[in-house]
């Protein structure tokens, strides 16, 4: 990893890492990263037995220590990893899902969230989960973002994906297209923008963020000829918030928004729905994209890839996204500790 060392200041940050689905590549990625230097304390919230088993399968020498949250934070030592042990319900075979371990995955998130909320950790970095196997176990689960919001009793969170040179936040996330327009209300849009503005200021130390806002319809509605959401909802909200001092540019046609001259003047893009902005980001940042949940009372970043069951236990999965998730979490933790030189809007 090559974090921005200019923001790595004392005190040492403590990052919790949940590897996610135990049959997937999350444990592999964590073990490989644990063998390298990192200017923070990395703590696994996971099964000690799983990590020991997977380390043996990958030929990685690793000393596992019992994590004690009451002890002072320490810089990571390559080849050593403190672990908050969460037992599996059933032994794992790499690449083979088992519904009996679905509750284990959620318990790792429960324990990590509690530590973050108590101030005993500075950020949570999550590995990939398998939504299908959790639901097959009879546990309703739509994703990390929604689960962490419920755990922390946060009424509204914002999904933002990022890669070098681009941040894309979403007004709606995992919805059928037929539902999207109904969900874009003045109240929801206002709340989403306020959360995005606040976290860009507080978590990323951007005093006056410039945000490009997509329209919903082709050509941003073509003056109402291709839809009226821009006229009746989006534009009035942007005018109101700009009058408060925000820098919201739009609504813009999504097919021409993502060009270099536009992105060069923006700190983030706000897309109206999942597949409006994320295909561009994932193309632009393949292997380096991450997921960030805004609005939580703690920092959470995540890989932006799946469990890759076919690669589990083989040691060939790319660690790039997890490296970026850790680096971003470190930078956000450091910037969150730094006093913001200018007032933050409520």
Q: How confident is residue 286, by pLDDT bands cut at 50, 70 and 90?
A: confident
3-class secondary-structure state, position 157? coil
The structure tokens listed for 345 are 């809007």
**What's the pLDDT score for residue 337?**
79
The C-alpha atoms of residue 296 and residue 232 are separated, in whole angstroms, by: 30
* Averaged pLDDT, 308-314: 96
Q: How confident is residue 246, by pLDDT bands cut at 50, 70 and 90?
A: very high
DSSP 234: I
**What's the pLDDT score for residue 11?**
77
pLDDT > 70: what percent of the chain? 95
CB atoms within 10 A of CB 265: 10
| First-to-last C-alpha distance (Å) of the chain | 35
State which H helix or E strand residue 208 sits in.
none
| Contact assessment for residue 212 and residue 173, using Cβ atoms and an 8 Å cutoff | no
Mean pLDDT of the chain: 93
Please determine, for residue 7, whether its predicted confidence score (pLDDT) is greater than 60: no
Q: How confident is residue 105, by pLDDT bands cut at 50, 70 and 90?
A: very high
CA atoms within 13 A on the CB side of 84: 24
Q: How confident is residue 339, by pLDDT bands cut at 50, 70 and 90?
A: low
What is the chain's percent helix, strand, coil content, to nearest 5?
40, 20, 40
3-class secondary-structure state, position 223? coil
| Contact assessment for residue 191 and residue 200, using Cβ atoms and an 8 Å cutoff | no
Query: At CA 86, angle to CA 329 and CA 55, rounded to 5?
Result: 75
CA distances from 253 to 165, 176, 250, 264 (A): 20, 21, 8, 17
**What's the pLDDT score for residue 9?**
47
* 106-120 pLDDT tens trace: 999 999 999 999 999
Look at the pTM and tell me if it is higher than 0.85.
yes
Q: What fold does the segment set 158-287 form as a domain? A: Isopropylmalate Dehydrogenase (3.40.718)
Please determine, for residue 39, whether its predicted confidence score (pLDDT) is greater than 60: yes
CB atoms within 10 A of CB 286: 14
For the domain spanning 1-154+296-346, the CATH number is 3.40.718.10
* Averaged pLDDT, 156-179: 94
Q: How confident is residue 1, by pLDDT bands cut at 50, 70 and 90?
A: very low
Please determine, for residue 81, whether its predicted confidence score (pLDDT) is greater than 90: yes
* Averaged pLDDT, 182-202: 97
Sorted by sequence, the CB contacts under 8 Å of residue 297 that are 6+ apart come out as: 116, 117, 152, 154
| Contact assessment for residue 292 and residue 194, using Cβ atoms and an 8 Å cutoff | no
Residues spanned by CATH 3.40.718.10 within the chain?
1-154+296-346, 158-287
DSSP 110: H
The C-alpha atoms of residue 297 and residue 202 are separated, in whole angstroms, by: 12
């Amino acid at each position: 990893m090559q974090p921005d060392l200019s923001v790595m200041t004392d005190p040492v940050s403590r990052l919790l890492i949940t590897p996610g689905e135990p049959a997937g590549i999350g444990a592999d990625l964590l073990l490989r990263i644990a063998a390298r230097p990192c200017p923070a304390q990395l703590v696994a919230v996971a099964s000690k037995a799983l990590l020991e088993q997977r380390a043996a399968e990958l030929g990685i020498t690793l000393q596992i220590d019992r994590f004690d949250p009451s002890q002072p934070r320490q810089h990571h030592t390559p080849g050593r990893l403190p672990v908050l042990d969460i037992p599996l319900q059933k032994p794992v075979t790499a690449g083979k899902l088992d519904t009996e371990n679905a509750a284990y995955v959620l318990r790792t998130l429960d324990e990590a969230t509690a530590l973050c909320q108590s101030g005993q950790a500075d950020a949570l970095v999550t590995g990939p989960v398998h939504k299908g196997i959790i639901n097959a176990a009879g546990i309703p689960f739509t994703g990390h973002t929604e689960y962490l919001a419920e755990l922390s009793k946060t009424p509204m969170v914002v999904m933002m994906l990022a890669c070098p040179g681009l941040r894309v936040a979403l007004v709606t996330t995992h919805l059928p297209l037929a539902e999207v327009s109904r969900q874009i209300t003045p109240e929801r849009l206002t709340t989403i923008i306020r959360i995005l503005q606040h976290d860009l200021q507080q978590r990323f130390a951007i005093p006056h963020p410039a945000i490009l806002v997509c329209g919903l319809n082709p050509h941003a509605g073509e003056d109402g000829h291709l839809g009226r959401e821009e006229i009746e909802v989006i534009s009035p909200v942007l005018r109101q918030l700009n009058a408060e001092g925000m820098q919201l540019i739009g609504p813009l046609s999504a097919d021409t928004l993502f060009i270099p001259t536009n992105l060069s003047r923006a700190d983030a893009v706000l897309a109206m729905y999942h597949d409006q902005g994320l295909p561009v980001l994932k193309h632009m940042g393949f292997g380096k994209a991450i997921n960030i949940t805004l609005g939580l009372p703690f920092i959470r970043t995540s890989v932006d890839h799946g469990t890759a069951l076919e690669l589990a236990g083989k040691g060939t999965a790319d660690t790039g996204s997890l490296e970026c998730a850790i680096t971003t979490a470190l930078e956000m933790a450091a910037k969150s500790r730094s006093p913001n030189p200018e007032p933050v809007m409520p």
